Amino acid sequence: MCGSDEDLQRLMDQRKKNRMVSNRESARRSRLRKQKHLDELKTQLSQLRMENNQVMATISVTMQHYTNVEAENLVLRAQVTELSRRLDSLNQIESIMSQPVDSGWGGTEFVDEFMGNSLSCVYANLPILAASDMIPY
Residue 13 CA to residue 18 CA, distance in Å, equals 9
Where along the chain do its domains lie?
3-134
Residue 9 CA to residue 14 CA, distance in Å, equals 8
Q: How confident is the model at residue 128 (pLDDT cuts 50, 70, 90)?
A: low
DSSP state of 1: -
pLDDT tens string 80-97:
999 999 999 999 999 998
Residue 23 CA to residue 29 CA, distance in Å, equals 10
Residue 4 CA to residue 83 CA, distance in Å, equals 115
pLDDT tens string 4-26:
888 899 999 999 999 999 999 99
Helix (H, G, I), strand (E, B) or coil at 136: coil
Residue bearing the bigger pLDDT, 92 or 109: 92
Residue in 41, 21, 44 with CA at minimum distance from that of residue 33:
41
Residue in 26, 30, 6, 28 with CA at minimum distance from that of residue 18:
26
